[in-house]
Chains A and B, each alone.
Chain A
Amino acid sequence: GAGVSQSPSNKVTEKGKDVELRCDPISGHTALYWYRQSLGQGLEFLIYFQGNSAPDKSGLPSDRFSAERTGGSVSTLTIQRTQQEDSAVYLCASSLARQVPSYNEQFFGPGTRLTVL
C-alpha cells in the first residue's frame, strides 16, 4: 500500500481482556514506532524498532504492554489485562533509517481507537 495501515480502526473491549493491534508500515521503511495519544493531546512514545536491532522499549508504560515486529515488516502491539486508563488512540509510524541530528520523516497510520469498558 501507499501508506501506513493499522487495524482494527476501532476496538472496544472489556476490562481485563487482552487486545492486539496491528501495523503495516510502508514497504522499505526499516524504522517503526508505536505511540499513544489521549483525546486531543500529544503523542506518547511507546516503542521503536530499527531493522534487526533490539527494540527501544523505554516508553512502554507497564509490563502489560509488549510489541513484536516480524520479518522486519508488520508489527503487533499487545496489551494484556486491559485497564480503563489504556483507552486511547494507538498510532503507528514508519520511516527510513534515522539520521543524526535530524530524524527522517515519520509517516503515521490513521491509528486504532481503543476503548476499554
Chain B
Amino acid sequence: TQLLEQSPQFLSIQEGENLTVYCNSSSVFSSLQWYRQEPGEGPVLLVTVVTGGEVKKLKRLTFQFGDARKDSSLHITAAQPGDTGLYLCAGSARQLTFGSGTQLTVLP
C-alpha cells in the first residue's frame, strides 16, 4: 500500500508569514497533485508536478517535486486569510493516493 504522509497536520499562522507543507512517501509516484479544500466543498486542483526536481509557481505558492519523485513540498509566501483551507497532496499510481491533509488557518 502506498502511503503519503503530510506534515504538519495543523498549522495556524498570522497573515504575512511564510509556511511550508510537506508530503512524503517511501513510494515513487509518476506524478503528484496538490489540492485545496474549503469546508463543505470538494477539493480543487492547484497543481500537478510530473518531473523529479520540478518546481512550479502559482502566484504566492511554490510547489516542488522531489528528485526521486517520493516527496513534495508546498511553500506559501506572505500568507493571507484567503489561503485558509485543507491542503491535500495526492500521488498518482493505479489510482490517486491522498495524504491526510494539512489544515491551514491564516489569522488576520
| Binary contact track A79-117/B, C-beta < 8 Å → 1, others 0 | 000000000000101000000111101111111000000
The reply to whether the CB of A12 lies closer than 8 angstroms to some CB of chain B is: no
Please indicate the chain A residues that have their CB under 8 angstroms from the CB of B94 in the complex: 56, 58
Contact A40 B42 (CB under 8 A): no
- Complex CA gap A56/B96 in Å reads 12
User: In whole angstroms, what is the CA distance A40 to B99 when docked?
Assistant: 11
Tell me whether B92 and A103 are in contact (CB under 8 A): yes
Whether A40 touches B101, Cβ cut-off 8 Å, given contacts A93-B42, A102-B92, A105-B45, is yes
Chain A binding surface SS class: loop
Query: Hey, which bits of chain B sit against chain A, CB under 8 A?
Result: 4, 6, 30-31, 33, 40-45, 48, 50, 86, 88, 90, 92, 94-101, 103
Which residues does chain B contribute within 8 Å of A106, judged by CB atoms? 45, 96
In the bound assembly, the distance between CA atoms of A107 and B44 in angstroms comes to 7
Least distance between B47 CB and chain A CB atoms (Å)? 10
Query: Which listed residue (A41, A43, A44, A102) contacts B43, Cβ 8 A?
Result: A43
Residues of B within 8 A of A101 (CB): 30-31, 50, 92
Cβ contacts under 8 Å, A1 to chain B: none
A20 to B92, CA, bound (A): 29
Task: Please name the 7 residue pairs, one residue from A and one from B, whose CB atoms are nearest each other, closest first.
Answer: A108-B42, A101-B30, A102-B31, A42-B98, A43-B98, A42-B100, A45-B95
B101 & A91 in contact (Cβ 8 Å cutoff) = no
Q: Is the CB of A41 within 8 A of B42?
A: no
Q: How far is the CB of A95 from chain B (nearest CB, A)?
A: 10
List B contacts of A111 (CB < 8 A). 40-42
Cβ contact within 8 Å between A42 and B42: no
Separation of A43 and B100 alpha carbons in the complex (Å): 7
Task: Indicate if the CB atoms of B95 and A48 lie closer than 8 Å.
Answer: yes
* B6, B45, B90, B99: residue with the most chain A Cβ atoms closer than 10 Å: B45
Q: Are A58 and B43 in contact (CB under 8 A)?
A: no
**Which residues of chain B are near A103, meaning CB under 8 Å?**
31, 33, 48, 92, 96
Shortest distance from the beta carbon of A15 to any chain B beta carbon, whole Å: 25
Partner among A42, A48, A58, A108 whose Cβ is within 8 Å of the Cβ of B44: A108
